[in-house]
Amino acid sequence: MQERENVLRIFKETKEAVLRGDSGKVSNLSNQTTNTAALTQDPDNIAAAVVVYSLGKIIERGNYKEMQGWQEFYKIYLNALDNIIISIEKNDDEGYRKNIKVIRSAIGKLSGRLKTSIEEVFRRASINKASKIYDHGTSMETTANLLGITLYELASYAGEKGMSDAPENKTVGVKTRIKLAMDIFG
């Protein structure tokens, strides 16, 4: 795992924000992880970004709290977050990955509308994070493979939203390019 201290901080702050119901803070923390994931292409950072972002979206909607199975899922999620934090502190990458899988498998144990809704949140989170990593310059194929989505899903999403507002994705106008060329060449 790369950026261990950063990922640890993010999970600790995520746990606190979840307990407060602060979905905005959780989404912000996910975006911080995405930047590292884009630069390092580290699957552990990518998993953190998806899990944290998904959790932010889940608590943002709030309507899940009334659905059957929510309380059990929420307890499993919080317990997995605690175990993820402990694993990172102990430099136990396998324990970290195991607890990421615990969250994923907890979704499989759900039923009905709650299961369908949360699976969709995770799927969309993967596509969203893939798009952000792609925006940072990682190839579309590499990004899709890292997040376990299809090239079609990523291309469709990226095409719908266009490139992000990240400064590295801004283009300069013709006049600015001409002025720059004139400054360089004389």
Within 13 Å and on the Cβ side, how many CA atoms surround 118?
A: 29
Coil, strand or helix: which one is 149? coil
Kindly list the distances between the CA atom of residue 4 and the CA atoms of 20, 91, 119, 149, 179, in Å, as whole numbers in the listed order: 25, 8, 27, 25, 44
Asked whether the beta carbons of 139 and 109 are under 8 A apart, the reply is no
Q: With a cut of 50, list the residues of the chain below it in pLDDT.
A: 163-170
Q: Could you write out the DSSP letters of every residue in 64-116?
A: GGGSTTHHHHHHHHHHHHHHHHHHHHTT-HHHHHHHHHHHHHHHHT--HHHHH
Total residue count of the chain as it appears in this document: 186
- Alpha-carbon distance of 67 to 65, in angstroms, equals 6
